[in-house]
Amino acid sequence: MFKHIIAVWLIASSSFISAGEVINGESVKPVEWEQLVPADFSMDAIFNSSEQLAAIDDFDPKAQQLLDEMMVAMQSAPTVPDFDGQMIKIPGYVVPVESDGTRVTEFFLVPYFGACIHVPPPPSNQIIYVRFEPGTHVENLYDAVWISGRINTETVVNELAASGYTMEAFKIEPYDL
């Protein structure tokens, strides 16, 4: 368990991402999750709604209205257009969406363990929908991974969450400490 806590901390820390990787003749840019959020975007407005929601009785119709508004705001968080089409490398956790037995071919990549599994999911600009045609074997959802591939500013919505980015993965490797 301690190893997983350290992995979460390392993923959030910027100084552990290496540079210099090349895939298909293109340089791979190391990216941190915070970089996927536009500089002028703030979650404060959404969290203010959360505080209002906490002050309302659960059975008040206004509570459901505020919750719905929060979810729409989270699912439509703005992305950073400059990332569209770039080759990047980013750490995260796999939330399987499409699998064949233990081979996962499509999944959400999220910045912390439990995202998308527990409600509410992170804002859409903190979720990447990844396609990896060869598939990857996911033994333990607690294990962080590095994903390298081409990211696009494209929205994918399913019953688990909405992502603001998609990625065609070329390389998946364990996040070793």
Q: How far is CA 104 from the centre of its chain?
A: 16
In the predicted structure, residue 20 carries a pLDDT above the cut 70: yes
Angle at 42 between CA 129 and CA 72, to 5 degrees: 55
Structure tokens, 30 = 């190391």
Mean pLDDT, residues 161-175 taken together: 95
- Distance between the two ends of the chain, CA-based, in angstroms? 13
Structure tokens, 65 = 């209205």
Contact between 153 and 105 under an 8 Å Cβ cutoff? The reply is no
Contact between 108 and 123 under an 8 Å Cβ cutoff? The reply is no
φ, ψ dihedrals at 86, nearest 5°: -80, 150
Distance CA 110, CA 116 (A): 8
Summarised one tens digit per residue, pLDDT across range 106-159 is 999 999 987 776 667 899 999 999 999 999 988 788 899 999 999 999 999 998
Q: Which of 90, 123, 83, 137 is nearest to 109 (CA)?
A: 90
Q: Which of 105, 124, 96 is nearest to 168 (CA)?
A: 105
pLDDT attached to residue 65: 82
Distance CA 100, CA 25 (A): 31
Q: What is the DSSP letter of 21?
A: -
pLDDT attached to residue 101: 77
Summarised one tens digit per residue, pLDDT across range 44-103 is 766 665 566 677 787 888 878 877 887 888 888 999 999 999 999 999 999 999 888 778
DSSP states of 15-84: GG-----EETTEEPEE--GGGGS-TT--SHHHHHHHHHHHTS-TTSHHHHHHHHHHHHHHHT----GGGT
pTM beyond 0.95, yes or no:
no
pLDDT attached to residue 87: 98
Structure tokens, 122 = 């992170």
